[in-house]
């Protein structure tokens, strides 16, 4: 089954557009995990198990694992999701962007080593940097378009032939790069107007939306500008606001409460047109 088909099934079965990002910072882990053999895995496993019925996807961020020399614990976490929550897609947040054989290795890393269902990529080097990922027709390729950080305006707002760079990326994504129907876009929740512009360009193409929670994106504005006519089309990601909702022995229960609150807030703003 292709990634986007799996995502649509998760939207329906879970009645959720929420994605929980797994960004495990060793400095923020509960103290009682310090003696665990695999503390980052133990932390992520508990978060996953506590929130799996509330989400449409999980999104581990590879940098947090790699910086802690814990790539094996990333593999363990994804394997746990596949074994115990097999209907929930896994998005590897890696933002890869290179060319030639290097891009091929990055694609192999994401889809074969880590067994991710989708990966985030940077289109700045052009189509040949995306092609090795796109060749995995059953996997999702999530292209950075209008990111949530303040510095996004430095380049993404540049005018090119009467359009902004992010509009051009959206147009290429839907018209040139999506031959296998496996392309998605990243658009930050902190730019709801731009999200609406991009939705108008790409039609029903799914959009990953980071930036709610700790970054301050407005849920209602995201839904109003980004949802498709059936009230879906979005993967709304929150990481820190869920992961670190609690810091004691009940951190997983606190994460669940935060995820439930956000899931319900999202659903309250969903409208079918």
Give ∠ CA 16-240-141 in degrees, rounded to 5.
Answer: 60
Give ∠ CA 133-135-139 in degrees, rounded to 5.
Answer: 65
63-66's contacts with Cβ under 8 Å and 24+ in sequence apart are: 64/22, 64/23, 64/24, 64/25, 64/40, 65/24, 65/40
- Show me where the domains of the chain are located: 3-269
Residue 273, pLDDT above cutoff 70: no
pLDDT digits (tens, 9 = 90+) for 134-159: 999 999 999 999 998 889 899 999 99
Report d(CA 115, CA 195) in Å as an integer.
30
DSSP 8-state assignment for residue 214: G
User: Count of residues for the chain?
Assistant: 273
DSSP 8-state assignment for residue 246: -
The class of domain 3-269 in CATH terms is alpha beta
pLDDT digits (tens, 9 = 90+) for 45-60: 999 999 999 999 999 9
Average the pLDDT over 250-259 and give the result. 97
Neighbouring residues of 58: CB distance < 8 A, sequence distance ≥ 6 = 19, 20, 21, 22, 48, 81, 88, 89, 90, 91
**pTM confidence score:** 0.96
Catalytic-residue membership of 95: yes
Report d(CA 189, CA 200) in Å as an integer.
16
Query: Catalytic residue among 28, 37, 59, 95, which?
Result: 95
pLDDT digits (tens, 9 = 90+) for 194-210: 999 999 999 999 999 99
């Amino acid at each position: 089954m292709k990634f986007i088909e799996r995502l649509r099934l998760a939207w329906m079965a879970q009645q959720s557009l929420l994605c929980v990002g797994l960004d495990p910072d060793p400095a923020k882990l509960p103290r009682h995990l310090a003696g665990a053999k695999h503390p980052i895995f133990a932390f992520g496993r508990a978060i996953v198990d506590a929130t799996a019925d509330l989400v449409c996807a999980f999104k581990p961020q590879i940098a947090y694992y790699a910086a802690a020399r814990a790539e094996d614990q990333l593999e363990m976490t994804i394997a746990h999701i596949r074994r115990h929550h097999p209907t929930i897609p896994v998005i590897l947040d890696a933002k890869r962007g290179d060319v030639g054989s290097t891009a091929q290795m990055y694609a192999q890393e994401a889809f074969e080593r880590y067994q991710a269902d989708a990966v985030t990529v940077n289109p700045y080097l052009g189509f040949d940097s995306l092609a090795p990922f796109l060749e995995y027709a059953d996997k999702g390729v999530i292209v950075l378009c209008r990111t949530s950080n303040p510095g996004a305006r430095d380049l993404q707002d540049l005018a090119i032939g009467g359009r902004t760079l992010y509009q051009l990326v959206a147009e290429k994504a839907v018209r040139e790069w999506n031959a296998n129907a496996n392309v998605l876009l990243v658009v930050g929740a902190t730019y709801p107007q731009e999200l609406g512009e991009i939705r108008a360009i790409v039609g029903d193409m799914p959009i990953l939306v980071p930036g709610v929670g700790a970054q301050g994106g407005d849920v209602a504005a995201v839904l109003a500008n980004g949802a498709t006519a059936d009230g879906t089309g979005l993967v709304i990601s929150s990481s820190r606001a869920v992961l670190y909702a609690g810091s004691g022995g009940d951190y997983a229960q606190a994460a669940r409460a935060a995820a439930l609150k956000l899931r319900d807030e999202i659903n309250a703003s969903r409208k079918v047109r």
